[in-house]
Structure 1
Amino acid sequence: MSAGGGTGTSALGSFLRGRRPAAWLLVTLGLLVLAMATLVGLQVTQQSRQLVDGVDTTEDLVLANVRTLGQTQREVLRLQVLLATNATGAELRRQAAYVTQRTQESALDSHQATLGADDLVAVARTDARQWRTGLLPRVRTLAALAPAARNPDSVRALMADLDELEKSYFDLVSLGEIYRREQAAKANADNEELVESTQDLFMWLTGTFATAAVLLAAGGALMFRLHQQRSAAHERLSQLNEDLMWYARIVQATDSILFTIDTEGRFTWVNEAFERTMGYSYADVTGKRPPELLHGPATDLETVRALQERIHEGEQFRCELANYTADGQEIWMAVDVSPVLDEDGEVTGFCAIQSDISERHEAELLLKQARLDAEASARAKAAFLATMSHEIRTPLNAVLGLTDLLLLTPLNAEQKDYVETAQQSGQHLLALVNDILDISALEAGRMEYHDDPFSLWEVLDETTTMFLAQAERKGLDLRLDPDPGIPPLLRGDAVRVRQILVNVVGNALKFTEHGSVRISPRLTGAEQGRSQLEIVVEDTGIGVPKWRIPQLFRSFARGDVSSTRTYGGSGLGLAISRTLAEAMGGTIELDSELGHGTTVRITLDLAVVEEEQTAAVRSPDALPHHGGLRVLVAEDDLVNQKVVHRMLQRLGVSPTIVANGQEAVDAVAENAFDIILMDVQMPVMDGVRAVRLVRDLDPTPRPWVVALTANALSGDRERFMAAGMDDYVSKPMTIDSLAAALERASSQLPSSAAGPVGPDAG
C-alpha cells in the first residue's frame, strides 16, 4: 500500500512538472481575467459616479433655466399685457422694475452653465443693455402719462420692440433647453455605450477564457447589479426632470405667497409670487428673518410673539397679520405656517403660505366703523328725543294742567266749550309726542308691557267718551255695539289697549266727514283661560286704495300725501298700533275701498280674570282729600309751580314750593315732609342729585319721593327709581294722576302721617 501510494503521488507531481508552463499560463490567464474584471468594475463604478454627477448637473440646469431666462421672458410678456390694457403708471413702473431685475440676473456670468456658450451669454447681455438704455426710458415716459394721454403709436412701437426682446429671451430659453437636453442625451448615450462595451468585453472573455467561467459568472453578476443601478439612476433622472418641471409650473402659476424658513426662523426659499408682491428678491431675503423685512407699525406684536412661540415648539399656526412691502405698502395677510419633518419626524424647517386679505380686512374695519357710527347716531337720537320730550312736555304740563283745573270751576256753556277744545288740542299734541317716543322705543325693543286686570268696558267707554265731542261737532254717529259675552275683567296692558283704540278710532273720525263710526268688540276662541279679543272699527270715510294699505303700517306713511295737509297727524299711529297688538299676541288688519270707508279689525290675546279676582278690583273714587299731608314741591318752572300748587289745593294740600334741588335739600334739613314732588331737570342742582342728598340726611320721617318730570322715555322710570325715588309721574300730569300718586304715597306712610282721606267737597 505504501509503495503504491508513493508511486501515485510521484506520477501526479511528474504530470504537473511536465506541464508547468501550461499551469502557470492558466493561473496567469485567471489572474488576468480577474484583473480585467476588476478594471471593468472600477470603470463602471467611475462612470456610475459620472452618471450621478450628470443628474445633479441637469438639476442645476433646470433650476437656473426656470429662475432666470424663463422669468425674464414672462416679466416682459406681463409688461406687454399692461401696456395693451392701459394700466396705470404705478403698475407700469412696478412691472418695469421686475423686468430690470430679471434682465440683470439673465446677464450674469453664471448663465454660461445654462446657455453653454459665450456668444449666447453675450446675446443676453446685449438684451439687458437694450432694455436698460433703449426700452426702459420709453416705458417710464409712458408711465408718467395718464392712460388716456398716451400716444397709441408710441405704445405700439414700444410693444413691437418689447415683442422683439421677448422673442430674443424665448430663443435663449429654447437654446438653454436644447443645451440641457443635449447634455441629458449625451449622458444617456454614454450610458448605452458603457453597457454595450461592457457586454462585448464579457462576451469576449467568456469565449476566450472558458476555464475562467466562475470568475466571469461573478463578474457578470457584478455587471448585472451595476446595470440595474445605472438603469435606476437613468429612471430617477427622467422622473426628477418631470417632477422639477411640474413643481416649477405649480409654483409659477400660484398667486399665493410661499416661502420656507429654517428652525432659526431665517428665510431659505421664496417663490415668485413673494418676490412680485413683497418687492424683495430671493437674494434680498436669504438668511434674514421675516420681522426684519415684513413687519411694520400695524403688525400686532402679540400675534408675532405667539407665532414665534409656535415655531419654537415646532407646531402649526394660523393667524392674520399686517405685512409691509419693500416700498412700505401695508398688506394684510392670512398666514398658515406648517412644520417640515424629515424621515425621523424631526422638524427641519417651516413652510408658510400667505394670502392677501387686505380687501376683507378693510371691509371689516368699515363695518366696525359703521356700527360705531350707528351706535353714536342712536345715542344722539335718544338724547334728542329726551330733550324734545322734556321741552315739549314742560309747557304742555301747564296747558293741560290749567285747562284741567279750569274745567273744575263754574263755566258757562261757551267757556266750557273753549276750554274743552283747548284741552283736546293739548291732548292731541301729547298724543303726537307719545307716538314719536313710542316708535323710538319700539325700534329699540324697549317698549314695556304690563299684565294687570282691567275692565274692557271702561277702556271702551273712556275711548268713546273722549271722541264723542269731536263726533258731535262733525255730525257723525259714533256708536259702541256691546257684546254681552265679554267678561267684566280681562288681564293685560290696559294702557296699550287704550292706545291702540285711540289711534284707530281717532283715524276713523279724522278721515270720515259724513256717516258713522262703529266700534264692535267680541270674544272668540276661548281656551285654557285665554280668549281672542276682536274689536272691529268701521267707518264711512274717504277710504284708501288697496295697493296703499301695506304702506299705512309703516312709520310716517300716509294713505295720500294731501291728507297730511288736510287732516294732520304724524303717520305713526297704525305702525305703533300693529306693533303693540303683535306684542300682545294679536295683530291689526285693514280693509278699505276708496270713497266707501274703512274697516279695521284688531285682535288681541288676553287672559280672562276669574270671578274671585274680579271682586278684589274696585273702581276709582272721586277726588280724595289729603289735608294732613306735608308736601314739598321742587319745580323750577314758575307756570308749572302754579299748576301743581293749584292742583294740590284742590286735593286739600298746602304745599311748600322751592325752585331747585339745593333748596329742596335745605328745606328737608329744616322741616319734616311726608311727600316730595321732585322735578328732575332743575338749575343749581338736579332732582337726582338732590334725592341722593336727602337720603343721606336720613330725616325722620323718611319722605316719599315722587319723580315729577317731563323725561318720559323708556327706561327713565327705572333710572329715577334706581336713584332713590319711590314713585314716578310724567308730565303733563292731570289732577287724577297727581291724586293717584298721593294715594300711593299715603298707603306707604305711617297712619299718623297719612291724614284723613275722603271726597273733595271742591
Structure 2
Amino acid sequence: MSHPLRGRRPAAWVVAGLGLVVLAMTTLVGLEVAQQSRALVDRVDTTEDLVLANVRTLGQTQREVLRLQVLVVTGADGPTLRRQAAFVTQRTQESALDSHRATLGAADLIAVARQDAQAWRSDLLPDVRALAAVPPARRDPAATRQLLADLEVLEESYFDLVSLGEIYRREQAAQANADNEELVNSTQDLFMWLTGTFATAAVLLAAGGALMFRLHQQRSAAHERLSQLNEDLMWYARIVQATDSILFTIDNDGRFTWVNEAFERTMGYAYSDVTGKRPPDVLHGPATDPETVRALQEKLQDGEQFRCELANYTADGQEIWMAVDVSPVLDEEGAVTGFCAIQSDISERHEAELLLKQARLDAEASARAKAAFLATMSHEIRTPLNAVLGLTDLLLLTELNVEQRDYVETAQQSGQHLLALVNDILDISALEAGRMEYHDDPFSLAEVLDETTTMFVAQAERKGLDLRLDPDPGIPPLLRGDAVRVRQILVNVVGNALKFTETGSVRVSPRVTGRADGRCQLEVVVADTGIGVPKWRIPQLFRSFARGDVSSTRTYGGSGLGLAISRTLAEAMGGTIELDSELGHGTTVRITLDLAVVEEEQTAAVRSPDTLPHHGGLRVLVAEDDLVNQKVVKRMLQRLGVSPVIVANGQEAVDAVAEEVYDIILMDVQMPVMDGVRAVRLVRDLDPTPRPWVVALTANALSGDRERFMAAGMDDYVSKPMTIDSLAAALERASLQLPNALPGPEASEPRRS
C-alpha cells in the first residue's frame, strides 16, 4: 500500500513550480513596471526642467531686454543703463549654455541663442555703454533709435525662442501624458492578474502587493507633478494668446494653421475665418507693396527667415502698417514643417515718417522761396539805390556850396544806411545757410579803424559826443584777412554805441594781446557812456532781430541784426565778441581777432584814394535797361575819361559786338528781350578779336551769384549800387588783362571831397 502523501508530491512540485513561475513572472513584470515608472519619472523630470529652464532663462532674458528698452526710451541715466546691461549680459550667457539644448529641443535653436548672446556682447553692449556715457539730454536721437531697433530685434529673437520652447514642451507633455496612461493601464492589468493568483501564492501576492503599493505611490506623485506642469504649460499658452503682438502660423503651402487672440482682435478675423486661407488673400490690399510680397514669397519658398514692413488690412478695410518677421519651423530632422509669423503695428511710426518727409519737402520749398524772394528784393532795391548813390557820388565831385554839400552828403548817408540794411538781411541769410564768403587779403587795421571812426564823426558832433580813437603803435602795419568783414563788425559796434549814447563819449581802443607763429591776437574795445542794457538782456542782443530798445515808443531804431551778424563774422574769422553793460552806466564791447601778419616784403603799393584814374583809351559797351542807371554809369565813365556806347538789352549788346570792336562790356544781368547771361554766351560764340572783357554789372548780390556769372562766361563782377571807385577798380583790372587796348593819357583827375 502506497504512502498517502506520495501522490501529492507531483502536485507539490507543480504548485512549487507554479509558484516559481508566478514569482518569476511577477518579478519580470515588476521590473518592467519599475522600468516604465522610472522612465515616466525621468520624462516628468525632463518636462519640469523644460518649464524651469524656460522660466528662469529664456523668459528672464526676454524680460531683461524689454526692461533695457524701457530704460533707453525713458532716458535713464548712465549707471542705471549699465546695471541693466549687466543683467542682460548674465541672462544671455545663461541662455546659451549646453544644458538648454533640452529646453529648445534642437541644436540650431541653441545656436541661435548663442548667436544672440554673441550679438549682444559684440554689437549691442558697446552701443549701450556708449549711450550710458552720454547725459540723457545730449544723447543722439538717431543713435538712440538705432539702439532701440537693435534691442527690439534681440527681444523678438528671444521671444521666438520662448515660443518654440513652449511648442517643444507641449509635445513633451503630451508624450508624458500618453506614457502615463499606458503605465496606468499596465498597472491595472497587473493588479488584476496578481489578485487572481494571490490565493495560490500568498507570499508572492504579498510581495506583489508591496511592489504595487510602491508603484502606485510613484505613479500618484508623477501624476500630480505632471498635472502641475500641464497647468504651467496652459499658463504660458494663455500668455501667448494674450500678447499684443500678432502671432500666426502657416504650413508649407502658405495657409493659416493657427492665429492668436491678438490677431483676431487687431485684424477682425476669427480663427475659423482664416483657417486654410493664404495671408495675401485675407490681409493684403491696395497699399500693399507687390515687390515686398514677392520677396517674402521667395524667402518662404527657400525656407529662410524674412523681415519686412508691409501694409495689411483689417476685416473692415482699415489700413495698418505692420513690421513682419517670418521664421521657419523645423522638425527634428531639420526639415521645414511650416512658418511662424510675428507682426507688430507700426502705423504711428509710418505716419510720422510720412509727415517728416512732407515737412522736409515743405522746408526745402520754403528755402527755395526765401532764396528767390531775397534775390528779387536785392535786385529791386539795389537798382534804384545804384542811381541814388551813384548820382550823389557824382554830385559830390562837382562844385557845391556848404548847404548843398550837406544835403547831398545826408542823402548819400541815408542811401548807405539803406544799403547796409539790405546787406545785413542778405548776410544773415547767408550765415544761416552757411554760405558766407570770406577773403584773405592784406589790409591795414589802422586805416580800417580810422575810416570807421571818421565815418561817424559828423554823427557824433551832431549829438555832442566825444568820439575818440586811441591807436596802438604796436599794431602791425599790414594784416591778412577780410577787411570788409572787419569793417562791417566795427561799423555795427561803433554805430550801436553812438545810437544808444546821448551824452558823454564813445572810445575805440585797439591793442595787441599777443603774437606768435606769424599771427597777431588783437582786441578792440568800444566803450560808451550810453543807456546800457540789463544783464538778463545781453544774451538776447546777439540773436537776429533782437533790439536793445524794445519799448513801444522805439526811441532807437535799427533792424536788430548788427550784433548777431558781427558775432558770427568774428567767430568765423577765429575771434569773438563779448558785451558787458550796466543799465544807465554804459556798455563795453570787446572784439577779439586772430589775424596773420603780412611782412614788409609782401606789401604792395596802393594808389592814393584822392585821385581818379583816366581810361580814355578804352572802348566800353554798356548794356543797361534802366534809364536812370544808364545816366549814372555814363556820367561815371565820363569822369574816368571813357565815352561809352549804351544799349538797352542783351540782344542789342550782341548786335553791337558783331558790328564793332570793344575792349570792355559792362553787362547788366536782368534785362528785357535777352538777359545778360545769355547775351554773354552769344558774345563768346561770336568769338570776336580781340576778345572783350565782360564785367557783370548787376544788383544780384546773393552768395553764389558771382560764381554763377563767372561760370556763364563773364570775367569780373561789380555789384550795385556801385561807386565810381568800384567802377574805376573794375576798369583797372580789365586794363591789366587787355594788353592790346588803346593807351590813354596817364594823368589822373583829382577828387573833390
Give the fraction of aligned pairs with identical amino acids, expressed as a percent.
Answer: 88
Q: CA deviation at 1:563?
A: 8.1
| Secondary structure at 2:340 match in 1 | strand
Does the aligned pair in 2 maintain the 1:517–1:539 contact within 8 Å?
A: yes
| Secondary structure at 1:384 match in 2 | helix
Q: 2:284, 2:742 → 1: CA distance?
A: 76
Is residue 301 of structure 1 aligned with residue 300 of structure 2? no
Q: CA deviation at 1:197?
A: 5.9
Q: Which moved more, 1:541-550 or 1:529-538?
A: 541-550
Q: How does 1:341-360 map to 2 (within 5 A)?
A: 341-360=330-349
1:481 aligns with 470
Letter in 1 for 2:521: Q
1:336 aligns with 325
2:376 aligns with 387
Q: Which moved more, 1:536-545 or 1:632-641?
A: 536-545
1:252 aligns with 241
Q: CA deviation at 1:434?
A: 0.6
Is residue 471 of structure 1 aligned with residue 460 of structure 2? yes
Q: CA deviation at 1:264?
A: 2.5
2:147 aligns with none
2:402 aligns with 413
Q: CA deviation at 1:270?
A: 0.6
Letter in 1 for 2:255: R
Structure 2 counterpart of 1:565, from 547, 550, 554: 554
Does the aligned pair in 1 maintain the 2:549–2:555 contact within 8 Å?
A: no
The verdict on how the C-alpha distance between 1:344 and 1:457 changes in structure 2, with shifts beyond 3 A counting, is: same
* Structure 1 unmatched ranges of 5 or more: 1-16, 56-183
| Secondary structure at 2:551 match in 1 | helix
Q: CA deviation at 1:721?
A: 1.1
C-alpha distance after superposition, 1:711-755 (max 9, x if no partner) = 111111111111111111110000000011111111111244465
Q: CA deviation at 1:497?
A: 0.2
Q: How does 1:596-607 map to 2 (within 5 A)?
A: 596-607=585-596
2:252 aligns with 263
Is residue 318 of structure 1 aligned with residue 327 of structure 2? no
Is residue 553 of structure 1 aligned with residue 542 of structure 2? yes
Q: 1:207, 1:320 → 2: CA distance?
A: 76
1:118 aligns with none
Is residue 632 of structure 1 aligned with residue 621 of structure 2? yes
Q: CA deviation at 1:203?
A: 6.7
* Structure 2 unmatched ranges of 5 or more: 1-5, 45-175
Structure 2 counterpart of 1:201, from 193, 203, 212: 193
Letter in 2 for 1:257: I
Q: 1:204, 1:311 → 2: CA distance?
A: 61
Q: 1:345, 1:330 → 2: CA distance?
A: 37
1:582 aligns with 571
The verdict on how the C-alpha distance between 1:440 and 1:682 changes in structure 2, with shifts beyond 3 A counting, is: same
Is residue 681 of structure 1 aligned with residue 670 of structure 2? yes
Q: Which moved more, 1:590-599 or 1:228-237?
A: 228-237
Q: CA deviation at 1:233?
A: 8.9
C-alpha distance after superposition, 1:249-287 (max 9, x if no partner) = 212321110011122222111101001100111111112
| Secondary structure at 1:566 match in 2 | coil
Does the aligned pair in 1 maintain the 2:663–2:741 contact within 8 Å?
A: no
Q: CA deviation at 1:519?
A: 0.9
The verdict on how the C-alpha distance between 1:305 and 1:754 changes in structure 2, with shifts beyond 3 A counting, is: farther
Q: 1:652, 1:289 → 2: CA distance?
A: 90
2:84 aligns with none
Is residue 456 of structure 1 aligned with residue 459 of structure 2? no
Structure 2 counterpart of 1:275, from 261, 264, 271: 264
Q: 2:196, 2:287 → 1: CA distance?
A: 79
| Secondary structure at 1:355 match in 2 | strand
Which structure would you say has the larger Rg? Answer: 1
C-alpha distance after superposition, 1:277-317 (max 9, x if no partner) = 00111111112221111112222222222222222222222
Q: 2:342, 2:436 → 1: CA distance?
A: 52
TM-score, with length taken from structure 1: 0.72
1:692 aligns with 681
The verdict on how the C-alpha distance between 1:521 and 1:189 changes in structure 2, with shifts beyond 3 A counting, is: closer
Structure 2 counterpart of 1:710, from 696, 699, 705: 699
Q: CA deviation at 1:670?
A: 1.4
Does the aligned pair in 1 maintain the 2:468–2:508 contact within 8 Å?
A: yes
The verdict on how the C-alpha distance between 1:758 and 1:224 changes in structure 2, with shifts beyond 3 A counting, is: farther
Letter in 1 for 2:737: Q
Structure 2 counterpart of 1:727, from 716, 739, 746: 716
Q: CA deviation at 1:195?
A: 2.9
Does the aligned pair in 1 maintain the 2:520–2:596 contact within 8 Å?
A: yes
Does the aligned pair in 2 maintain the 1:747–1:754 contact within 8 Å?
A: no
Q: 1:593, 1:328 → 2: CA distance?
A: 68
Is residue 517 of structure 1 aligned with residue 494 of structure 2? no
Does the aligned pair in 1 maintain the 2:284–2:311 contact within 8 Å?
A: yes
1:85 aligns with none
Q: 1:618, 1:207 → 2: CA distance?
A: 142
Does the aligned pair in 2 maintain the 1:335–1:354 contact within 8 Å?
A: yes
C-alpha distance after superposition, 1:369-403 (max 9, x if no partner) = 22221221111111111111111110000000000
RMSD: 3.8
| Secondary structure at 2:459 match in 1 | helix
1:748 aligns with 737
Q: 1:260, 1:333 → 2: CA distance?
A: 16
Give aligned pairs, total. 606
Q: 1:23, 1:593 → 2: CA distance?
A: 131
1:507 aligns with 496
Structure 1 counterpart of 2:653, from 664, 670, 673: 664
TM-score, with length taken from structure 2: 0.73
C-alpha distance after superposition, 1:597-654 (max 9, x if no partner) = 2211111111111222135666667311111111111111000000000001111111
Q: 1:305, 1:324 → 2: CA distance?
A: 18
| Secondary structure at 2:323 match in 1 | strand
C-alpha distance after superposition, 1:446-495 (max 9, x if no partner) = 11111111111111121122112222222222211110000101111101
The verdict on how the C-alpha distance between 1:529 and 1:366 changes in structure 2, with shifts beyond 3 A counting, is: same
